[in-house]
Amino acid sequence: MTPTAEMQRICQDKSTALLVLASAGSGKTSCSIQKIMYHVAEGDCNPEDILALTFSNAAAIEMRERLMLAASSDIAAHASIKTFHGYGNSVIRNYYHELKRSAPPSLINETEQLAVLIDNESRIDKKLGKSLLSAWSYAKQQTLNMRNREPLLSYLAQRGFPNPELCLDALYLFEEGKRQANVVDYDDLIRMPISLLTSNERVRSELQRHNRLMLIDEFQDTNRIQLHLACLLFNQNLEGFRSIVAIGDDDQSIYRWRGASTANIRVFKDHFNARMATLSQNFRCPAPVVAAAAKMIQHNTKRLPKQPFSAIPGEVPQVFGVRNIYDMAEAIASNVQSWLSTHAVGKELAILYRTNRMSHSLEAALNQRGIAYQLESNTVAFFERTEIRALMACARLLANTSDMMALRALQPYLKGVGKARMDGVIDTIQKNGGRIDCLLTLPESELPVAVVQVRRIVDELMVMGAAPGREGLEAFTDWIMRTGPLSVLNHESDLEMQRKREANVDLLVESICHEMTITDSDIWLDSLLNAALGQQPREHDIDGEGPVASRVVLCTIHNAKGAEFDSTIIAGMSENILPLIRSPAEASEEHLAEERRLAFVAMTRTKGTLVIYHADTFNFPGSDPIPSSPSRFLKEAGLEIAQLDRCVSTSTDMSLETFTQALISRMEPR
């Protein structure tokens, strides 16, 4: 991309603090890369003095890849380009002694968090435990901690917990249980570095000294503790060149439910007395799409002033209205079939919707027409798969030989080692120093069978995890699959499932090797552990494979954030769906502003056509039919609705299950 005058001014700006309001599709990543290259070329900073914080591994990898293409591998390899949580994890691993830990702590998943909570407080069942952990996570993101007992009790009472005192005591035991097990959860990756930077002047000075140029991407998605961490990492009063740059767009802030706040943009501006700049031109979407989206988003009266525009010619978004969700699904499937007939190769069409329950009828209609599609899933789904969980447990044990929770995670794959016997194994380890490698020093002839079995796995793990580089990683994963913990699954009768397991491991390996190439590193263990902090690994293009067939993607609007597609369909721009209003409280101005931003994000994903559908009635499993009118956002965007005839023989009171079965009975296997 040729830099615009706006981009050039931002790249060459040497202000101590700069706030860039970057509209959708305005080339903010290109601008960030050009700015990094400019300051290195000017001698303002060295690559190792640069910290860029992103919100996903994919964004961090893309920035490094594009730096390699635009500049030299030196900048991409030595600049610190990480997610917030990835950076926090590196701080914890580098300074674990200062955090009074005996070894770098392991990151545990939600299932393991629940186990810690319930193990330490038997009066908390799984249902209450899940709710309590969710509430505690949100509280930590709002900077509450265990020292705030009264505010926490008040908060738990407001959230409707029946016994706030019991719940708070359970959370105290939960945090102590994590400390004793030397494990951390996702929120700790931000909270613990903040605690360290606040209390340890030496560490704070050391980290601040390195951060001469600090960039924060998608700043509108930061929550309070991420903003706090960013402020602690930058010291504008140190000698030499210092600049912190926040890049974001309050029009695309869609994560209020997890603590993100557009107010952080104003706080940043005031705290650092930041100069403001804008990137207004959209290089992705056709002008009529940008005009409609901009007209709609102006109804958010508290937004920062800016006027997105595009010079790309194109069509005005089309809006169709149908009687019910089934007619909408069939109309969309028909539209997709027509699109595929004229876009057979190398294109991507996305069907976006507000909530996951919208996908059921869409999938059924696409299946009925034999249309292949990809359903975008979240990161947890990939890292919760059996083979990936076992692989990550082995990696955790390599990094932290005292991680008993990781050892427990391997128990289902160790033949002859039940839960009770695993308790005995762990008891043996605890009595002999608390590290799994202690088993290697004990006389095998005196050990129970279960301990001998685990001892063999530990011995092989230490050998297979020692080799660096791609060959080392492949040897490690091959051992896990062939003769290590997952060898027990080799006897499965489902050969297709075996193939899928191997494909998932191969995908993760390729992703880690790709990252090692970019960072010029042969240490695969850190990259593997950090992978769980981001999102599902990406499949990287392989040259010489010929034309790639066009594909259809189904995903929620939240999952589409940051993506772009050749054509986009929005399913269900209807009142009570988008905007989603389930109670009087959700009719507030603040909630509607967030829903309007969601619609703005959905509309600005397309590089070509945009088609929007409204239905008069929505039927979802387990609920009564939901009558609806066209979304207010359509009128605000200046778009008119064309009413379609019924597309399939269904009635508004037909159940979703009946409709789906009617389609499935005619489906061909995909």
Q: What distance in Å separates the CA atoms of residue 258 and residue 222, rounded to the nearest whole number?
A: 10
Q: What is the mean pLDDT of residues 510-525?
A: 79
- Note the pLDDT of residue 648: 42
SS3 160: coil
For residue range 537-589, list pLDDT tens digits in order.
544 443 444 557 789 999 999 999 889 999 999 999 999 999 998 777 677 88
Residue 293 assigned ligand-binding role: no
For residue range 194-252, list pLDDT tens digits in order.
999 999 999 999 999 999 999 999 999 999 999 999 999 999 999 999 999 999 999 99
Per-residue confidence band for 72, with pLDDT thresholds at 50, 70 and 90: low
Q: What distance in Å separates the CA atoms of residue 241 and residue 15, rounded to the nearest whole number?
A: 9
From the list 530, 529, 427, the residue with the least C-alpha distance to 81 is 530
Q: Is the pLDDT of residue 658 over 80?
A: no
Residue 79 assigned ligand-binding role: no
Q: What is the mean pLDDT of residues 517-536?
A: 74
Q: What distance in Å separates the CA atoms of residue 185 and residue 183, rounded to the nearest whole number?
A: 7
- Note the pLDDT of residue 493: 62
Which residue is associated with the tokens 């001469």? Answer: 212
CB of 433 closer than 8 Å to CB of 404: no
Q: What distance in Å separates the CA atoms of residue 234 and residue 291, rounded to the nearest whole number?
A: 38
Residue 310 assigned ligand-binding role: no
- Note the pLDDT of residue 88: 95
From the list 639, 642, 644, 568, the residue with the least C-alpha distance to 610 is 568
Q: What distance in Å separates the CA atoms of residue 19 and residue 613, rounded to the nearest whole number?
A: 37
- Note the pLDDT of residue 98: 95
Residue 25 assigned ligand-binding role: yes
From the list 256, 252, 200, 197, the residue with the least C-alpha distance to 224 is 256
Helix runs in 123-244, H state only = 126-141, 149-158, 164-181, 188-199, 201-210, 224-233
For residue range 117-142, list pLDDT tens digits in order.
998 877 888 999 999 999 999 888 88
Q: What is the mean pLDDT of residues 391-414?
A: 90
SS3 303: coil
From the list 243, 239, 241, 265, the residue with the least C-alpha distance to 252 is 265
Residue 390 assigned ligand-binding role: no
- Note the pLDDT of residue 656: 44
**276: which strand partners?**
19
For residue range 476-509, list pLDDT tens digits in order.
999 988 888 888 776 666 677 778 788 888 888 8
- Note the pLDDT of residue 20: 96
For residue range 96-110, list pLDDT tens digits in order.
999 999 889 999 888
Q: Burial letters for 474-509: b for 16+ Cβ neighbours within 10 Å, e otherwise?
A: bbbbebbbeebbbeebeeeeeeeebeebeebbebbb
For residue range 413-465, list pLDDT tens digits in order.
888 888 899 999 999 999 998 899 999 999 888 889 899 989 999 999 999 88
- Note the pLDDT of residue 622: 67
Q: What distance in Å separates the CA atoms of residue 188 and residue 173, rounded to the nearest whole number?
A: 16
Of 657 and 89, the structure prediction assigns the larger pLDDT to 89
- Note the pLDDT of residue 377: 61
For residue range 381-394, list pLDDT tens digits in order.
577 788 888 899 99
CB of 422 closer than 8 Å to CB of 408: yes
Averaged confidence pLDDT in the chain: 87
Q: What is the pTM of this model?
A: 0.83
Q: What distance in Å separates the CA atoms of residue 535 and residue 532, rounded to the nearest whole number?
A: 7
- Note the pLDDT of residue 119: 85
- Note the pLDDT of residue 381: 59
Q: Is the pLDDT of residue 650 over 50?
A: no
Lowest model confidence (mean pLDDT) among 101-105, 261-265, 353-357, 526-530: 526-530
Cα dihedral 540, 541, 543, 546 in deg (nearest 10)? 140
- Cβ neighbours of residue 564 closer than 8 Å, sequence gap 6 or more: 25, 284, 605, 606, 607
- Note the pLDDT of residue 61: 84
Residue 321 assigned ligand-binding role: no
Long-range Cβ pairs for the range 71-78 (8 Å, 24+): 71/33, 71/36, 71/37, 71/40, 73/518, 73/520, 74/47, 75/36, 75/37, 75/40, 75/47, 75/50, 76/518, 76/519, 77/47, 77/518, 77/519, 77/520, 77/521, 78/46, 78/47, 78/48
Lowest model confidence (mean pLDDT) among 65-69, 154-158, 174-178, 239-243: 65-69
Residues in the chain: 670
Q: Is the pLDDT of residue 652 over 60?
A: no
Residue 102 assigned ligand-binding role: no
Q: Write out 7-66 in H/E/C secondary structure.
A: HHHHHHCCCCEEEEEECCCCCHHHHHHHHHHHHHHCCCCCHHHEEEEECCHHHHHHHHHH
Q: Is the pLDDT of residue 663 over 60?
A: no
Residue 377 assigned ligand-binding role: no
Q: Is the pLDDT of residue 177 over 60?
A: yes
Do the strands 567-571 and 275-279 form a parallel or antiparallel pair, or are they unpaired? Answer: unpaired
